[in-house]
A = this chain, B = another copy of it.
């Protein structure tokens, strides 16, 4: 499935839009934190730079992740913020090929009405994805409103999907559920999860588990705030690799009728989206499995041994990230 980039913007304009997007730049501070916190531990298989940490417990892998919601979303639409707090955490476990088991929330309340809406959003998402919220911590007297969630999951050690394992010549597959809408409260959120049924979203989460069990991927990551290109950049940084992708192949809805430019689409947070890499012989099977659960998937390019993420369109190309010079998360500075 090949798309055309309907608008007049150049690869350079898209590269700049992604590079300077707050969803990307706010990841810069992660590296410093890792340097402070990392300690040696035999049971920790992977930690920072992955969507979830993997801890070995006999033959089982235990997954642990935490993710929070931008305060701007909390103020704009607390119900959606609560829903997303669950959504992004479930995605973190799915991205590792894991089964999400349970969540805890950390809620800071300034205003009762906001609190009530956040809880309603979390409860709805928890029911939809079938992942219970089992506890948490409440700051009842804070002078701000915030919601963060941590999640636990399981995965067999040999079935885990990582961000750091993409290698040269792997194909890159972008997979996004296009059956959605620009969320009315946030022009940078693509919402498919509230529209899909419970069975549909659970099937979409399970497809990553099945891809892990079948060992069809070499790496994978859920598309988060940095958007499809920014997320690929983070995967490349963790994998110590580069890539060339064709903008024309990135799955997208009918942008003209939605009235949004392509530069917005590539920065959007999709309600259900993954970037995965696979050996050439497995690409069609991977795409087929995504399509079976209603997720549009497309082979958008390949990994190389540079440290550059290059985007191409109509025989023009631009570098989005030179990871040799400057990382996104700055893991290895």
Q: Which residues of A contact B (CB under 8 A)?
A: 22, 26, 28-30, 33, 36-39, 41, 43-44, 47-48, 50, 52-53, 55, 57, 60, 62, 64-68, 70-71, 101-109, 116, 119-120, 122-123, 126-127, 130, 132-144, 146, 148, 150, 152, 154
Q: How far is the CB of A64 from chain B (nearest CB, A)?
A: 5
Determine the residue in chain B with the shortest Cβ distance to A45: B134
If A109-B29, A127-B39, A132-B44 touch, whether A144 touches B144 (CB-CB below 8 Å) is yes
**Among all A-B residue pairs, the 10 with the closest Cβ atoms:** A150-B150, A53-B134, A47-B134, A66-B104, A36-B119, A41-B132, A106-B148, A68-B137, A29-B140, A37-B133
Given A60-B60, A120-B36, is A104 in contact with B53 using a C-beta cutoff of 8 Å?
Answer: yes
Whether the Cβ atoms of B101 and A137 lie closer than 8 Å is no
Choose one: B50, B60, B64; the contact of A57 (CB below 8 Å): B60
8 Å CB contact of A66 from B33, B55, B106, B154: B106
Q: Is the CB of B102 within 8 A of A44?
A: yes
Q: A138 and B33: CB pair below 8 A?
A: yes
A53 contacts across to B, CB distance below 8 A: 102, 104, 134-135
Inter-chain contacts of A48 with B (CB < 8 A) = 134-135
Question: Given that A33-B107, A132-B47, A135-B47 are known contacts, is A150 also in contact with B66, CB under 8 Å in the complex?
Answer: yes
- Which residue on B lies nearest to A62, using beta carbons? B152
Chain B neighbourhood of A119, CB < 8 A: 33, 36-37
Report the bound CA distance from A21 to B325 in whole Å.
Answer: 54
Q: How far is the CB of A139 from chain B (nearest CB, A)?
A: 6
B residues in contact with A132, CB < 8 Å: 38-39, 41, 44, 47
Do A64 and B29 touch (CB < 8 A)? Answer: no
- Name the CB-closest residue of B to A48: B135
- The contact of A104 among B57, B64, B133, by CB within 8 Å, is B64
* Closest B residue, CB atoms, query A71: B142
Give the number of times this chain occurs in the complex, counting copies: 2
Please state if A139 and B102 are interface contacts (CB–CB under 8 Å).
no
Q: In the assembly, what is the distance between CA of A154 and CA of B130, in Å?
A: 22
Return chain B residues, CB-CB under 8 Å to A140: 26, 28-29
CA distance A66 to B127 in the complex (A): 21
In the complex, what residues of B have CB within 8 A of residue A123's CB? 36-37, 39
Q: Are B65's CB and A102's CB within 8 A?
A: no
Q: Which B residues touch A66, using CB under 8 A?
A: 104-106, 135-137, 150
Which of A47, A60, A66, A134 has the largest number of chain B CB atoms within 10 A?
A134
CB distance from A46 to the nearest CB of B (A): 8
Q: Which B residues lie within 8 Å of A154 (CB)?
A: 57, 62
Partner of A135, one of B52, B105, B130, B144: B52
A64 & B33 in contact (Cβ 8 Å cutoff): no
**What would 24 A/B residue contacts be, using CB atoms closer than 8 Å?**
A22-B141, A28-B140, A29-B109, A33-B138, A37-B105, A37-B126, A38-B132, A38-B133, A43-B102, A44-B102, A44-B134, A53-B102, A53-B104, A53-B135, A55-B101, A62-B101, A64-B134, A64-B152, A66-B104, A66-B136, A68-B106, A71-B142, A139-B146, A144-B144
* Minimum CB–CB distance for A100 against chain B, Å: 11
Interface hub of A28, A71, A109, A135 (most chain B Cβ within 10 A): A135
